[in-house]
Amino acid sequence: MSSLLVSLDAGVLSLTLNRPDKLNAFNPEMHQLIKAAFERAREDAGVRAVLLTGAGRAFCAGQDLSERNVAPGAAPIDLAVTIGSYYNPLVRRMRELPKPIVCAVNGVAAGAGANIALACDLVVAARSASFLQAFSRIGLLPDSGGTYFLPRAAGTARAMGLALLAEKLSAEDAERWGLIWKVFDDGALVKEATAIARALAEGPTKAYGLIKKALYASAGNSLDAQLDLERDLQREAGFSEDYREGVTAFMQKRKPNFKGK
Ligand code: LHQ
């Protein structure tokens, strides 16, 4: 059985982390497969949104700690190799994808698994799900963007508490803290997340890509720089077919039929 299930339906590329007996911890095979899947998401015009979730009771337990490349044996190991080869390119690929990524956190998201979830554009979670910055429990610091996303979304005090104490944060608290978009009852998560991804797949894809670009640039920009960026990106959006369709549909009092162009 593949460690990543991939299917395309109604413009939504669904990616399911699939090593349930290891709580979907990442191994090199899963990394290769998710890399290929995000490359496809970028290249394939038929993909207009991505939906990422996990099989079984967990979303993802981060790095598979039983893998040889991270196991502290007799010889010193260089964790920067694993991070530089797999995790950093994955997070960059996700943030740079000009299409929306919905994450349905179906259960515990720990270590890099938590931060890969937070790297998605729109995160929803089952009420019973949780987020765990497990790193300090094993003598590490948050990676995969955790030290970037957490203080920005939750503030330094909360980010520090999560990273130092490595306590589980419930999905409801994650929603309250502004780390994620919404919590759904466990039984409703798949339906609700799929509905969100499908709605996005019918939307103005180019505008969504530009929204990502603008919002993610915001953290490092001055107001002046951000105003200039908005002007430039709005110029691009204004040249899209979907803008033409959106305004035409509004004037004609009908639902727009966006093509993602
Ligand atoms: C696992 C794992 C796992 C292998 C559960 N690996 N088997 C990047 C690059 C370089 C180096 C290092 O790190 C990184 C980034 C990282 O992600 S570091 C952080 C790695 N992740 C963790 O430290 C989390 C480890 N897991 C846990 O703390 C617990 O499993 C959680 C809290 C996620 C869930 O707890 P429980 O619900 O009590 O489940 P469990 O612990 O009983 O796990 C079930 C099985 O899954 C168990 O196997 P077994 O054969 O006994 O049934 C675990 O060994 C296995 N598993 N996480 N990361």
Grouped pLDDT means (10 residues each) for the chain, 261 residues? 97 98 98 98 98 98 92 88 97 98 98 98 98 98 98 97 98 98 98 98 98 97 98 98 98 98 95
- CB-ligand 1 contact for 34 (6 Å cutoff): no
Q: How far is the CA of 55 from the centre of ligand 1 (A)?
A: 15
Amino acid at 50: V
Q: How far is the CA of 66 from the centre of ligand 1 (A)?
A: 9
- CB-ligand 1 contact for 140 (6 Å cutoff): yes
Q: How far is the CA of 137 from the centre of ligand 1 (A)?
A: 11
Alpha carbons 154 and 182: distance in angstroms, whole number:
15
Looking at residue 235, what is its pLDDT? 98
The residue whose C-alpha atom lies closest to atom 19 belonging to ligand 1 is 111
Say what the alpha-carbon torsion angle 140, 59, 108, 48 is, to the nearest 10 degrees.
Answer: 100
Integer Rg of the chain from CA? 19
Tokens, residue 170: 């419930």
The pTM (predicted TM-score) of the whole model is 0.98
Nearest to 201 by CA among 193, 250, 190: 193
The residue whose C-alpha atom lies closest to atom 25 belonging to ligand 1 is 61
Ranges of H-type helices in the chain: 28-43, 79-82, 88-96, 112-118, 146-154, 156-165, 171-176, 189-201, 205-218, 223-238, 241-251
Q: How far is the CA of 50 from the centre of ligand 1 (A)?
A: 25
- CB-ligand 1 contact for 132 (6 Å cutoff): yes
Within 8 A by CB and 6+ apart from 116, the residues are: 60, 87, 90, 91, 94, 109, 144
Looking at residue 70, what is its pLDDT? 83
Alpha carbons 104 and 199: distance in angstroms, whole number:
15
Looking at residue 151, what is its pLDDT? 97
- For helices 28-43 and 88-96, the axis angle rounded to 10 degrees is 20
Looking at residue 96, what is its pLDDT? 98
Atom of ligand 1 nearest to the CA of 132: 32
Query: 108-110 and 58-60 as β-strands: parallel, antiparallel, unpaired?
Result: parallel
∠231-101-43 over CA atoms, to 5°?
80
Looking at residue 194, what is its pLDDT? 98
Q: How far is the CA of 95 from the centre of ligand 1 (A)?
A: 25
Looking at residue 68, what is its pLDDT? 82
Atom of ligand 1 nearest to the CA of 83: 9
